[in-house]
Chains A and B, each alone.
Chain A
Amino acid sequence: MDFNFDLVVNSFPLLLLGAGVTIKITAISVMLGVIIGMFMGISRICNVKIIRIIAAVYVDFIRGTPLLIQIFLVYFALPIISGQRIDPYIAAISACGINSGAYVAEIFRAGIQAIDVGQMEAGRSLGMSWAQTMRYIIIPQAFKQVIPPLGNEFIALLKDSSLVSVIGFEELTRRGQLIIAQTYGSLEIWTSVAIIYLAMTLTISRFVAYLERRFRTDDRH
């Protein structure tokens, strides 16, 4: 076996550039996912039936179909309907964000439902509206509950973002493919790519563990 370390060293800067792009689209997608997921998660337990149904359909559809197909739908199928080409960057972020939103919605729904119903009753009995009680009492408490699963979702999405390489978006995986196409160094490059992904996911999981600890000692809750 011949492992070409020079190739690893030489292509590392390019791969790191790709890793930067991976982090960027993952971070933006997760932010998008958290915003969508928060609204959808609340919608899932809203007392207006039609809103509840819309949220349930969204969550079921996204969780019941592969992310790869969702990326194809956004990048290849949507332009046929709209008649407009879509930028790979926008397509990648929309697909990942909308996908993440469904998982985050379930995380938020579970987090909110884990809060004692007495908290909502206490808020309402003081004259606060449902929305005010959600905002000031329920969601701040739910946030602490959802940090660990949200961290897992971030890690899952970071790995899944490799799928957007299929629409030619140059994140880490795509960079690896392009370098291999020129150098034929499959062993060196895929190993390097794997190690970079691992470094990123480990860093995130440590950070989430730290957040979890900090919130626990802060409020003893």
Chain B
Amino acid sequence: MIDIEGLYKSFGKVHVLKGIDLHVDDREVVAIIGPSGSGKSTLLRCMNYLEQPTKGTVSVDGIKLDSTANINKVRTEIGMVFQRFNLFPHMTVQKNIMLAPMKVRGMDKVEAAETAEKLLHCVGLADKAEAYPQQLSGGQQQRVAIARALAMHPKVMLFDEPTSALDPEMVGEVLDVMRSLADSGMTMVIVTHEMGFAREVSDRVLFVDDGRIIEQGKPADVFEHPQEERTRAFLSKVL
């Protein structure tokens, strides 16, 4: 589903990604962990071309992401959930979800409204359709953001630290939604600091540090028997 080869990304003189090779299978759930500033968010953002690679290639569903690609079309297949939700504050929850399907997919209003209703039901917010984002708690906003991304029927979902901006008591409700999404067979790449969640839900864990994938494997292996010194040092701090 996602193929990354020899990916380098620099911001000016700062080299953030230093040669990443990664393949994500259809229906696979990959968790990316690592210290702040290690490049894990940048890696994720390269997967939907929010960041352009300095060198190397990123392909999603067989389409190479570069300046010649129809990037808007590719992005319809890639849902993204942000740390800070990024809901549209001037629209109701329902309109937030309906906008892209109508404007991009050309879906009619009735169908878009039905989709929104269904998705809000799935994330447990059926009664909040007419609310504005600011009236919701952080956890509720993030669940709306997930519903909004799902409304495009993406083939992949990218999560950029989806629970980092939440109060602790709201983390669970968002993780529950993500867990059921993973169970439904969605291909997911998740940048997260929730080690318990990464371990329980993901098929594979990547440990990223200093712009490189240091270690990867089944969650049990990476968490129980880390092979690399840097992984051990990181895990001993966060676990």
Whether A126 contacts B50 in the complex (CB less than 8 A), given A132-B103, A220-B135, comes out as no
B-side residues, CB < 8 A to A, are 48, 50, 72-73, 75-76, 78-80, 82, 84, 86-90, 99-100, 103-104, 132, 134-135, 148-149, 152
Q: Are A128's CB and B104's CB within 8 A?
A: yes
Measured between beta carbons, the chain B residues less than 8 angstroms from A221 are 89-90, 132, 134
Question: Separation in Å of the A25 CB from the closest CB of chain B?
Answer: 33
The answer to whether B86 and A116 touch across the interface, beta carbons within 8 angstroms, is yes
Closest partner residue, chain A, to B75 (CB atom) = A127
Q: Are A141 and B90 in contact (CB under 8 A)?
A: yes
A sample of 8 cross-chain residue pairs with beta-carbon separation below 8 angstroms, ordered by A number, consists of A122-B82, A122-B87, A124-B50, A125-B75, A127-B152, A128-B103, A140-B90, A141-B88
Q: How far is the CB of B96 from chain A (nearest CB, A)?
A: 9
Q: Are A121 and B86 also in contact (CB < 8 A) when A126-B76, A127-B75 are? A: yes
CB distance from B147 to the nearest CB of A (A): 12
What are the nearest 3 A-B pairs in CB distance?
A: A127-B76, A122-B86, A126-B100
Q: Which residues of A contact B79 (CB under 8 A)?
A: 125
Distance (Å) between the CB of A33 and the closest chain B CB?
24
CB-defined contacts of B86 to chain A, threshold 8 Å: 116, 118-119, 121-122
Beyond A126-B76, A219-B132, list 6 extra A-B contacts (CB 8 Å): A116-B86, A123-B100, A126-B100, A127-B72, A127-B152, A128-B99
Give the CA-CA distance A220 to B100 in the complex, in Å. Answer: 23
A125/B50 in contact, CB under 8 A: yes
Residues of B within 8 Å of A126, CB to CB, are: 75-76, 99-100, 104, 148-149, 152
- Residues in A with CB closer than 8 Å to B80 are 122, 125
Would you call B82 and A128 a contact (CB within 8 A)?
no
Given known contacts A128-B72, A141-B90, A219-B90, A118 and B152 CB-to-CB distance under 8 angstroms: no
Contact B104 A125 (CB under 8 A): no
Q: How far is the CA of A127 from the CA of B89 in the complex (A)?
A: 19
Chain A: minimal CB distance from B100 (Å):
4
Whether A125 lies near B72 (C-beta < 8 A) is no
CB-CB under 8 A for A136 and B82, given A126-B76, A219-B89: no
> When chains A and B are docked, how far (Å) is the Cα of A128 from the Cα of B149?
12
Interface status of A203 (Cβ within 8 A of chain B): no
The tally of residues in A whose CB lies under 8 Å from a CB in B reads 21
Chain B residues within an 8 Å CB radius of A116? 84, 86
Query: Whole-angstrom distance from the CB of A205 to the nearest CB of chain B?
Result: 25
In the assembled complex, the Cα of A127 lies from the Cα of B100 at a distance in Å of 7
Task: Fill in one digit per residue for A140-165: 1 if any B CB lies within 8 Å of its CB, else 0.
Answer: 11001000000000000000000000
Chain A residues 94-123 with CB under 8 Å of chain B are 116, 118-119, 121-123
Distance between B75 CB and nearest chain A CB, rounded to angstroms: 4
B72 cross-chain contacts in A, Cβ below 8 A: 124, 127-129
Give the contacting residue for A121; candidates B82, B99, B134, B152; CB below 8 A. Answer: B82
When chains A and B are docked, how far (Å) is the Cα of A144 from the Cα of B75?
A: 29
Task: Out of B48, B132, B152, name the residue touching A220 (CB < 8 Å).
Answer: B132
A221 CB to nearest chain B CB (Å) = 5
Min CB–CB distance B63 → chain A (angstroms): 13
| Interface membership of A137, Cβ < 8 A | yes
| Complex contacts, B75 vs chain A, CB 8 Å | 124-127
Across the two chains, which residue of chain B brings its CB closest to A129?
A: B72
In the bound complex, do residue B48 and residue A122 qualify as a contact, i.e. CB atoms below 8 Å apart?
A: no
A126 to B97, CA, bound (A): 10
- Output the least CB separation between B112 and chain A (Å): 13
* CB within 8 Å of B: which A184-221 residues: 219-221
Query: Is the pair A119, B88 in contact by a Cβ cutoff of 8 Å?
Result: yes
Contact of A122 among B88, B134, B135 (CB under 8 A): B88
Contacts of B88 in A (CB 8 A): 119, 122-123, 137, 141
